[in-house]
Chain A
Amino acid sequence: MARFIAQRLLAALITIWIATIAVTLLIHLVPGDPVRIMYSGFQTTDAEIEAIRERLGLDQPVIVQYGMYLGRVLQGDLGYSIVGNQPVLDTLLQRFPATLALTTSALLIAVVVGGSLGFFAAYKKGTAWDFGAMTLAIVGVSMPHFWLGLLLLFLFAMTLEWLPVGGSGWQNLILPALTLGLATGAVIARLTRSAMIDIFDQDFVRTAHAKGLPKTLVLYRHALRSGLVPVVSMLGLQFAYLMGGAIVIENVFAWNGVGRLAIQAVFARDYPLIQGFILFFATVVALVSVIIDVTYALLDPRIRYGK
């Protein structure tokens, strides 16, 4: 198990390392002089521009810039936000709890709604119920996040007036979490359905029925537990998908998380913050993937032994 965890951690570190290269190159890939783009106020003199370039190390060769950046990152220093005038890491950590609350709520909704729908469709396989549930899932997968968000907003906030439109209280979490969760839930529904159909045909389920166990016991204890294993394996990927979706949804619902911060940083041309966000995002997704992989391995020993 220790070897398995070490392998996964090494893969995560390689991902984060690649992200550090990407964020260093990012500043040079954008058309235009990065310093002039960041400090586009017309009263910044050429001498000041050069001083800023020197301060940010942008006058050095790219490889030197990368070395300097990596050195700082290893010390936990992601630089200073130009607009907020405070450490990038502090800014990201202030906002991250809001994004974590949104993504975990959305994941919970996705698992409960998607799992139930998929299980139900598999159980009613080939019927109109199955067709209806899967049609719903396809609609959910196909619908863009922001559009679903706006539809839910018009329904629950404007028409029914049950929920607030935007803000930062717990009531404000419901609509964005629902928007994100339903789209992911559609993916989980399709996955659960195919996994459960496969399980329902397995010998051990047939045996459980044959020995006269109650139907609910066979379905929920024997079939569902086994059927959820591949679903759990997908949660890491789905979490990354939710983090990406949060960037859009946080803006639609004015939810003050790191996704919204990223958009603000892009519009404010705050390169240190944009770089910090990308690295932070990659790190969170990589670490969550490690946690999911380890959990999966604990559930299914075949994984950790590479079988």
Chain B
Amino acid sequence: MTAQRHRNRGLRIGLRTGLLGGAISLAALPVLAQDLVWARYGDIDSLDPHRATSTLSMQVWDQIYDTLLAFDENGVARPNLAKSWEVSEDGLSYTFTMQEGVVCHDGTPFTADDVKFTIDRAFGDNPSLTRTSWGPITDVTVVDDLTVTVTLESTFGAFLPFLADSFSSMICDSNAELEDYGTGSAIGTGPFSLVSWVQGDEVVLEANPDYRNFGKPVENDGPVHIDRLIVRTIPEPQTRLAALRTGEVHIAEPPFDDIPDIQSGEELELVVAENTGQNVFWQYTTSRPPFDDIRARQAIAHATDPQMAIDIVYGGMNQREWCPIAAGVFGNDQEFCRQFGYEYDPERARELLAELGYGPDNPLETTMYVWTGGNRHILAEIFQAQLAEVGVDASIEIMDIGTMNARVREDNENADSEEPGTFNMMTWGWYDPDILYALWHGGGAYAGYQSDELDAMLERTRTLTDEEERLEAVQNVIQYLMENAIHVGLYTPGWEWIFALRPEVEGFKVGAFLHPMFQDVRVTE
């Protein structure tokens, strides 16, 4: 604590003198390094944006790299490293003009070659894990140092939003010469450069003095105010909170059970992210009974009350989500979705179950899969009790998200199994309705519900680039998914969206789609 106070005092004196004296050299003053420590439950998977998909990884890439476009407060993609672009008449070629004077962390200029390097790499021998989201890119041509043309095989409505997301982080081509790129080194153009990564322990980043912001919704467009950002892994929630209270850590995700205490106290501040793009929803094994029948799916949706459950578990920290895509994502409209949604109506659920032959003496037996963590097991127990009220005997299986993804797919693929089908509280976070294509086209990620009609509708959402036409196409898909009770929205946000801050931290913001921003952060005493 004492050392921290000394450091802060040193910086404050430096800042004041700088403001008053103007020409007085700060180097002559005893300005010591100012660290900001951010504790999270887990570590990044990779420093390479092509090799991981986790939110934990993405939030660190945001600090090291920058993107051609950037999301504004409302989640709309705006110019960033690319100051402008032109689209060919057929919508197949995008020519981007870059900002001048952008420098990579190793001092080399950021040019069109770096853009080409990044995209070619994403489609190379060891392609990006999210390459499908780049769109049907066929060619990248460097026109000159600051101009690059990207050619697509077919029009792609989610192309520009993708270029604002961390998965499209621009990787400087000098990384190609690094043997340990992604595991021990990373060169980008972001607000921080990498100092070290001790896997499982901490990522140490230092301020990039050459950084300039062009499109992110922050006030400070120059280098960050702090000297270093240390992203530390502290898995145990109570230890994270203890470190936050003692001042060893400045920002951390708090344990849910302690949030009321934090809110009522004056010691810590809470920042709750909005427009995270996170959607928690019901989905079902539609390949076999009972959920091959729409009435069974609808019965589950009518029998459960997400609003009551999240009020109990999260105490107003998130919202009911009626749509299959989360608030903040293009196409999300609560009123529109609600008209096709499933209100809490246990009586209607009982009727539907009775039509299927289920009743008090013959309950529908099934299993609910839930992703571990975030107090979701408590939600599951509430839903289980609500389902029991209408005659659904649902056992709960809690597992990590990767296992759940695999089990859901396997359940759908085992259409001939004698076991009753399962349903699950699935979670996805994405910046664009293109997620629906990944989840449902041709059965999608989970080999689930499939129909030619839905496939055709999903293909339309991808190829349309006119905003109004695309909105209509997206809403058609939403209506189809909801009317058929395939993808039933429950709530948003769902994970890692609450940050507790020390009182000395000022200016911390979380941008749309859960991108924490440190450009305005100052640590005062």
Contact = CB atoms under 8 A, between A and B. Distances in A.
Q: Give the interface centre of A36, A251, A252 by most chain B CB atoms within 10 Å.
A: A36
Q: Give the interface centre of B1, B130, B234 by most chain A CB atoms within 10 Å.
A: B234
A44 B246 CA distance: 43
A288 B124 CA distance: 47
Contacts of A146: 236
Contacts of B198: 168, 256
Contact of B403 (A32, A261, A264): A32
Given A31-B407, A42-B445, A43-B132, A264 B200 contact: yes
Contacts of B45: 83, 268
Given A161-B1, A261-B200, A31 B403 contact: yes
A154 interface: yes
A41 B233 CA distance: 23
Interface in B201-250: 201, 232-236, 238-239, 242-243, 245-246, 248-249
A200 B461 CA distance: 86
B406 interface: yes
A149 B129 CA distance: 39
Nearest to B42: A267
Contacts of B238: 150, 153
A116 B39 CA distance: 39
Contacts of B403: 30-32, 37, 40, 269
Q: Give the interface centre of A41, A164, A165, A256 by most chain B CB atoms within 10 Å.
A: A165
B405 interface: yes
A158 B407 contact: no
B438 A166 contact: no
A254 interface: yes
Given A40-B405, A85-B182, A33 B234 contact: no
Interface string B438-471: 1100001100000000000000000000000000
Contacts of B522: none
Nearest to A41: B129
A43 B438 contact: yes
Interface in A1-54: 30-33, 36-38, 40-44
Contact of A43 (B131, B199, B405): B131
A32 B410 contact: yes
A253 interface: yes
Contact of B236 (A84, A254, A266): A254
Contacts of B183: 84-86
B369 to A, nearest CB: 11
B173 interface: no
Interface string A262-275: 01101111000000
Contact of A158 (B242, B405, B438, B444): B242
A47 to B, nearest CB: 12
Contacts of B234: 166, 254
A64 to B, nearest CB: 23
B53 interface: yes
B406 A33 contact: yes
A179 to B, nearest CB: 12
A159 to B, nearest CB: 10
A254 B235 contact: yes
Nearest to B51: A85
A124 B448 CA distance: 71
A260 interface: yes
The 6 closest A-B pairs by CB, nearest first: A42-B445, A36-B406, A40-B402, A40-B405, A165-B243, A37-B406
Given A31-B403, A256-B200, 17 more contacts: A30-B403, A40-B402, A41-B53, A42-B444, A43-B129, A83-B45, A150-B238, A161-B246, A164-B246, A165-B242, A166-B239, A167-B248, A254-B235, A263-B235, A267-B42, A267-B400, A269-B402
25 contacts: A30-B403, A32-B410, A36-B405, A37-B402, A40-B401, A84-B183, A85-B46, A85-B182, A86-B183, A150-B239, A153-B242, A157-B242, A157-B246, A158-B245, A164-B246, A165-B248, A165-B249, A168-B201, A251-B235, A254-B233, A254-B235, A256-B200, A263-B235, A264-B43, A268-B402
